[in-house]
């Protein structure tokens, strides 16, 4: 049963990443009257298909890929009047950007939904107690409600604020246990060498419907910032091993392994990971590399600047070379992923 759960979780993750991305391209192509030959989710053997309005809709066996075949983008079909290349530049750019945009929207929805599942109006709700730390040794347990600290009503982040204001000074904390019994504890924080003091208590953040929605909208932008910082650290050698080290680039196999770990940690960790991967997929596709959406956008912009189109056959060949290079890189990274997992070097995922 656990193995089945892992399989469903991994397949579901890839579908949540791939299906909206391709649906974004598809929706804008249809909006701008581009002839869509096929809209496929998955790769390999066709499991299901139907034709409607001149488009073949298909679900294929392996959910790690997907594609939208548009008219005018293949040899012998370049002159299709309803093909992709015969549309205005701004329309082509929007079609290309719709895939990454869909990934960002999915991430917003997932992260906002995660916040909605954790609505909390109590600024003193205890959710974690670190074993061996002063709070746990004193008698705190998850589910307690803190009402006052040093006689003052508790507010979001107030416990840490009091600790920071008077490092090491004992705190008088009052509240109610989950069984309704009131308590008052005197807790003395422990401080590290930087004089940062803690009592080992985790209080749930206050989460409202509004804050959950705002956090959801902001999540892709914050995640992109973290991704850019991470890439910078890899490229500049700040991360041991660099881009191909244990904490370097990860391919489909590594992503599947991380997803399996997230499944075992529960729904909230799994949803957070999928939201993060959705942002990563959208961001990666915006990079100006051949065969990626960003690379194709660059081609359209260059055509606008030079005021004439490129030779379509040559462009197609360049895109094929770019795709072959990306697949080769993915293959190398997949081999590294297998080695990392086999040797226990893969860092996994923590949230």
Q: Which residues are catalytic?
A: 22
Most distant CA pair in the chain: distance in Å? Answer: 80
Whether the Cβ atoms of residue 74 and residue 316 lie closer than 8 Å to each other: yes
Cβ atoms < 10 Å from Cβ of 300: 22
Whether the Cβ atoms of residue 103 and residue 136 lie closer than 8 Å to each other: no
Cβ atoms < 10 Å from Cβ of 125: 19
Strands (E) located in 154-312: 171-176, 182-187, 190-191, 197-198, 201-203
CA dist., res. 68 & res. 19, Å (int): 11
End-to-end CA distance of the chain: 25
CA dist., res. 249 & res. 258, Å (int): 13
What are the phi and psi torsion angles at 344 (to 5°)? 75, 20
Measuring CA to CA, how many Å separate 188 from each of 32, 133, 136?
A: 66, 10, 12
Q: How many residues does the chain have?
A: 351
72: left (phi over 0), alpha (psi -120 to 50) or beta: left
82-88's contacts with Cβ under 8 Å and 24+ in sequence apart are 82/33, 82/34, 82/35, 83/34, 83/35, 84/29, 84/34, 85/309, 85/312, 87/32, 87/34
Using DSSP's 3-state secondary structure scheme, residue 74 falls into: coil
């Amino acid at each position: 049963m656990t193995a089945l759960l892992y399989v469903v979780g991994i397949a579901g993750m890839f579908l949540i990443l791939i299906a909206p991305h391709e649906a974004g391209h598809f929706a804008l192509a249809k909006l701008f009257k581009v002839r869509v030959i096929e809209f496929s989710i998955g790769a390999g053997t066709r499991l299901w298909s139907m034709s409607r309005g001149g488009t073949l809709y298909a679900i294929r066996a392996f959910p790690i890929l997907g594609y939208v075949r548009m008219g005018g983008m293949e040899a012998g079909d370049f002159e299709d009047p309803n093909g992709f290349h015969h549309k205005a530049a701004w329309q082509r750019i929007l079609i290309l950007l719709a895939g990454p945009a869909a990934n960002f929207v999915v991430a917003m929805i997932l992260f906002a939904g995660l916040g909605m599942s954790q609505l909390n109006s109590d600024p003193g709700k205890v959710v974690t107690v670190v074993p061996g730390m002063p709070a746990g040794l004193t008698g705190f347990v998850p589910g307690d409600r803190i009402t006052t600290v040093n006689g003052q009503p508790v507010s979001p982040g107030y416990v840490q604020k009091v600790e920071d204001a008077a490092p090491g000074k004992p705190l008088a904390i009052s509240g109610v246990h989950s069984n309704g019994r009131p308590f008052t504890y005197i807790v003395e924080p422990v401080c590290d060498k930087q004089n940062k003091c803690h009592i080992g208590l985790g209080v749930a953040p206050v989460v409202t419907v509004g804050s959950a929605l705002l956090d959801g909208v902001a999540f892709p932008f914050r995640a992109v910032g973290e991704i850019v910082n991470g890439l910078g650290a890899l490229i500049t050698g700040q991360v041991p091993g660099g881009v191909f080290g244990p904490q370097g680039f990860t391919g489909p196999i590594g992503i599947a392994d991380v997803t399996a770990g997230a499944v075992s940690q529960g729904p909230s960790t799994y949803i957070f990971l999928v939201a993060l991967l959705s942002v990563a997929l959208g961001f990666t596709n915006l990079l100006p590399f051949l065969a990626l959406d960003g690379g194709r956008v660059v081609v359209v912009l260059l055509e606008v600047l030079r005021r004439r189109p490129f030779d379509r056959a040559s462009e197609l060949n360049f895109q094929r070379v770019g795709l072959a290079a990306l697949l080769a890189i993915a293959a190398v990274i997949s081999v590294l992923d297998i080695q990392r997992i086999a040797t226990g070097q893969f860092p996994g995922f923590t949230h």
